[in-house]
Amino acid sequence: MIQTMLNGSVRSGQNSLRQDLRLLTLNISGPSVERAERLAAFMLPLDVDVAVLTETRANLGTERLLAEFEAAGYGIQAVLPSSKRERGVAVLNRTGSSSGIASPVQIDLSHRLAIEEIREPGEFRLIAVYVPSRDATSEKIDRKRRFLDQMMDVVQQEAMGGRVVLMGDLNVVGRTHLPRYPAFRAWEYDALDHVMGHGLVDAFTKLHPGVQAHSWIGRTGNGYRYDYAFVSGALTKALRGCEYLHEPRLQGLSDHAALLLTLCGESLAAQAASDIRLAAA
């Protein structure tokens, strides 16, 4: 496990309690070293505070990208898969006040789910996930279904405990997704329903009602919305923005768009202060 926690840098000229908190998720497609360097050149100027990288891989390209972020002052939480055919997730964090948290339930593919406790400017837990894709074989179907069941158990446990942000590549679409795809099954739709049933809100849909976004485009040109950011109901007050950035896909850095979530730091800090007052009452 690569887990290095470093003091995060604060954007120049801003109070760390008032600045917006910027969180990005991007499927990096297990990059080569050359593509990892291009990914770093794209991502680092975005000046995000937390990045969730999905489809990490036990290869030199993933290691190079993580090293680029570590050199820029980010702490790294990542379990690179032991098999070169397997993929995982990494959390890059420069807030300077965070720690990795053990999953409250058993996760068979533990390299695909990470939990990070963010403490500044407000306190919440980030659940970073990379859900397995599948084909029509029973082995791949069972593997994905089991992971989704375990992920839903994590969401249920964490949502009961406080504020939560869930980000990553879920490899599922919603029931109302357009276009409709007959390949998706009821249990895949149920996964998103379960997440929202525990009080988490789809940040993009909250800010852009009625807009059908696509974050992955298939070889036939069909679009799928696979990449998400969900926030606890209390965190909707802090929502400043949630946008898909298509540059990675259009520039050949990935086959996915990135998703940038922006939370108001002042609102997060106010919620944390309210928690302290209630605890002291």
- Angle at which helix 60-71 crosses helix 33-43, to 10 degrees, equals 30
Query: Of 16 and 249, which is predicted with more confidence?
Result: 249
Residue 11 predicted with pLDDT over 50: no
Over 80: is that where the pLDDT of 277 sits?
no
Q: What is the pLDDT of residues 94-114, one digit of tens each?
A: 987 667 888 999 999 999 999
In the block, tokens 């807009």 appear at 211
Instruction: Calculate the CA 19 to chain-centre distance.
Output: 20
Q: How far apart are the first and last CA of the chain?
A: 41
Mean pLDDT (whole number) for 19-34? 96
Name, of 1-10, 43-52, 155-164, 216-225, the range with top average pLDDT: 43-52
Which of 235, 212, 204, 5 has its CA nearest to residue 101?
5
Q: Is 259 left (phi over 0), alpha (psi -120 to 50) or beta?
A: beta
pLDDT score for 81: 86
Residue recorded with tokens 């406080």:
162
Q: Report pLDDT for 83.
A: 86
pLDDT for the residue 98: 64
Higher model confidence: residue 274 or residue 239?
239
Average pLDDT, the chain: 90
Q: Is 60 exceeded by the pLDDT of residue 8?
A: no
pLDDT reading at 234 higher than 70? yes
Residue 5 predicted with pLDDT over 50:
no
Beta bridge partners, 24, equal 51, 260
Give yes or no for residue 242 having a pLDDT over 70.
yes
Region 115-119 average pLDDT: 93
Please tell me the predicted confidence (pLDDT) of residue 77: 93
Residue 13: the pLDDT is: 34
Domains of the chain plus CATH, in order, are 2-6+15-280 (3.60.10.10)
pLDDT tens across 40-64, in order?
Answer: 999 999 999 999 999 999 999 999 9
Q: How far is CA 91 from CA 110, 113, 167, 168, 200, in A?
A: 14, 10, 10, 10, 20
Is the bond preceding residue 179 a cis peptide, omega within 30 degrees? yes
CA distances from 211 to 106, 145, 176, 205, 222 (A): 36, 28, 11, 7, 16
Averaged pLDDT for residues 159-163:
90
Residue 148 carries which side chain, given as an amino acid letter? L
